[in-house]
Amino acid sequence: MKTIQLRENRYDGILHLVTAADGAEEFYELETNEARYEGLEAARLLDDKLKKAYFVHPKWYMVDNRNSKDFDHKIERCK
Task: Give the rounded percent of residues in the chain with a pLDDT score beyond 70.
Answer: 97
**Number of domains observed in the structure of the chain:** 1
Domain that holds residue 57: 3-77
Cα gap 68→54, rounded to integer Å: 22
pLDDT higher at 56 or 45: 45
pLDDT attached to residue 10: 83
Q: Are 40 and 28 in contact (CB under 8 A)?
A: yes
Of the two residues 1 and 57, the one the predictor is more confident about is 57
**Taking all residues of the chain, what is their mean pLDDT, rounded to a whole number?**
88
pTM of the model: 0.81
The burial class, CB within 10 Å (0-12 / 13-18 / 19+), for 14 is middle
